[in-house]
Structure formats: C-alpha cells, structure tokens
Amino acid sequence: MLQLAPVGAQQPQPLAPGDALALPGLNETGLRHGLQGSCDCADCTADGYAEEGVTPMPWFFQQMHLRHSSTHGRAMGPGSPLRGTSWLNRPFSLSFDTGALLVTNSIDSNVGTANDLMAGVSVGWDWDHYWGAQARVAWSTPNLRNSTQPGTDQGDNLFLGDLSVMYYPWGDSRTRPYYRVGFGLTDVEFTNDAAAREQQTMITLPIGAGFKHQIRRNLAWRGEIVDNIALGQSGTSTLQNFSLTFGVEWRYGGRPDTRWGWSNHGGVW
C-alpha cells in the first residue's frame, strides 16, 4: 500500500542564488538592492549600482549620465516626479530673466572690467523628458572704462545671443535641474585708445547649469549660472562673462490629440 508522508514532514528548500535568476524581473542586482532596484538591463550598474568590491560612483557624477525616455522612462526619482501632468504636455516655453553680469577679464589692455545688471528673453522646446533646446538674447551695459581716455563718454553695450542644447538629468520632475551648452555671439562696444568707439562681435560658447520648478502647470520659476566664453579676435582678449539670472517661464503648446484623424469634429465625412 502507498504510504503518504505526513504534511509538514518535508521542509521547503531555500532557493540557491542561481535559481533566483529564474524569477521574472529579478536578478542578482535586484537581490542585493531590493525588488524596487531590480532590473534586467545594463543600466542598473550605469546609474550607480555597484558590483561587490566596486566603490559606488559619487552622486554628482551619476547625474552626468546621458539618459533618454526610451531607455529610462519619464523620471529618475529625485525632484518629485510629476503625476497627472508633464512638462511635455506644454513643450514650448517663453521666459524672462534678470540678474547680474560679471565681466571678469579685460577685452583690451587699457580697458577695465565691470559688473552690471542683465536682462534676457528665452524661447525653448522640450522634445523629450530629458532633452530640449533653448534660444536666448540678453543685454547689459557694463561700464568698460578705458584708462587712457578718462574724459570720454563711455556708455557701453553688451549683447548676447545663443542657441543651447538642454539636458535634464532627473527627467519629468517638478524640480528640474539642467545643464546646457551651446553656440552664439557676443557683441560688445567700448572706447579704444584712440578715443573712438569700437565694436567687436565674438563667437561665444555658453556653458552653464540651472533649475526649473513648476508652480503651476503652465508656469515655472527658473534660475541659472552660465559662463559665456567669448573668444577673442582682431587683437581683443577672450572674455569670461559670468551671468547669474532668475526669472519666470511660461509653458504653452500641447501634444496633438491622437484621435484627431479619426474624429469628424461634428461634420459629415
């Protein structure tokens, strides 16, 4: 006669580490970091997870990783990821900024440096949760005095115009830090040693970082610091023009309605 073993007589055997890999969505990285950190893609180690015996990458350098919504989803977690709305629901932006311009070195040997207020207008377009573009124009009037011409009227103008690529490492979050790098022009006017007004237009490489914080679905605060590197030419020196600005950004536009092509909008086909 067949004898049945009593219930409870057999103890369950613990899973070996290799057997755990057979569970869907769980791997060795997930076992070490918990189910919330598990994933089957190579990006687990790329975003700061470390294999045994390897020192984790510092937090700052983790933010330098280039991401895209097709591989990293909408947001990375910090900064309060948005729910029920998105920056891409209004992908276009118009912003007004004001702040300080610091001219840290001289454009010519006898021309001094100066600090002044700066005002600017920017338009932007975010085409991905992590990527966008921005065009900016800005104006300032630093007093770049020529020491050899003390009695000359030296009202000066400095114009900036540039186009930058924007990168948002946290993705679609309410607080949204960014880096930007671009290409543009700086037009500066000053008095030369011959007491004549001189105007120079220089190729400019803006490199900066900033943040945006959504206060309403179509409105955000913003601030940034940028090194506007104006390359010297025609006897003028390279300028390091630092700008620190704060402003407000209006978001507009919208995603197209995917049902538009199938709707008769109240008419007859």
Does 77 reside within a domain?
A: no
Is residue 106 domain-shared with residue 205, that is, in the same domain?
yes
In this structure, are 100 and 57 located in the same domain?
no
Contact 123, 92 (CB under 8 A): yes
Q: Quote the pLDDT of residue 143.
A: 82
Spatial separation of the C-alpha atoms in residues 157 and 14, rounded to whole Å: 75
* Secondary element (H or E) of residue 59: helix 59-62
**Any residues with CB less than 8 A from the CB of 250 and at least 6 apart, and which?**
93, 94, 95, 218, 219
What pLDDT was estimated at residue 79?
61
- Provide the pLDDT for residue 113: 79
What pLDDT is attached to residue 70? 74
pLDDT value at residue 144 = 81
Number of structural domains the chain divides into: 2
Distance CA 37, CA 42 (A): 13
For residues 137 and 197, membership in a common domain is answered with yes
| Tokens coding 65 | 């990783």
Domain match, 129 and 180 both:
yes
> Quick one: 179 and 52 in the same domain?
no
- Structure-token match 């020529």, residue found: 146
Q: How far apart are CA 174 and CA 227, in angstroms?
A: 26
Q: What CATH number is attached to the domain comprising 191?
A: 2.40.160.20
Q: Does residue 116 fall inside a structural domain? A: yes
> Cα angle at 71 between 69 and 77, to 5 degrees?
65
> Residue 61: in which H helix or E strand, if any?
helix 59-62
Residue 89: CB atoms within 10 A of its CB come to 15
Radius of gyration of the chain (CA): 28
How far apart (Å, rounded) are the C-alpha atoms in residues 176 and 87?
Answer: 10
Q: What is the DSSP string of 77-132?
A: STT-B-SS--GGGS-EEEEEEEEEEEE-S-SSTTB--EEEEEEEEEEEEE-SSSEE
Spell out where the chain has E strands: 92-103, 114-126, 131-140, 158-167, 175-191, 197-216, 219-230, 239-252
CA nearest neighbour of 103 among 229, 213, 2: 229
pLDDT tens digit at each of 269 positions of the chain: 555 555 555 555 554 444 444 444 434 433 333 333 334 444 444 444 445 555 666 655 566 677 777 777 676 666 678 788 888 899 999 999 999 999 888 787 778 778 899 999 999 999 999 999 999 999 998 888 877 877 666 667 899 999 999 999 988 889 999 999 999 999 988 877 777 788 889 999 999 999 999 999 999 999 999 999 999 887 778 888 999 999 999 999 876 554 444 444 443 33
Q: Which amino acid is at 146?
A: N
The answer to whether residues 123 and 220 belong to one domain is yes
Domain enclosing residue 228, as ranges: 87-252
Looking at the fold, whether 57 and 91 belong to one and the same domain comes out as no
**pLDDT (0 to 100) of residue 57:** 62
Is residue 210 in some structural domain? Answer: yes
What pLDDT, on a 0 to 100 scale, did the predictor assign at position 69?
A: 72
pLDDT of residue 260: 40
12 falls within a domain: no
Question: Residue 268 — φ and ψ, nearest 5°?
Answer: -115, 130
Q: Say if CB 132 and CB 253 are below 8 A apart.
A: no
- Residues 31 and 40: beta-carbon distance below 8 Å: no
Q: Are residues 107 and 31 in the same domain?
A: no
Give, as one character, the DSSP assignment of residue 261: G
Please tell me the predicted confidence (pLDDT) of residue 252.
Answer: 93
User: What SS3 class is residue 170?
Assistant: coil
If asked whether residues 41 and 110 sit together in one domain, one would say no
Q: Which two tokens stand for residue 229?
A: 């590197």
Same domain, residue pair 133 and 211: yes
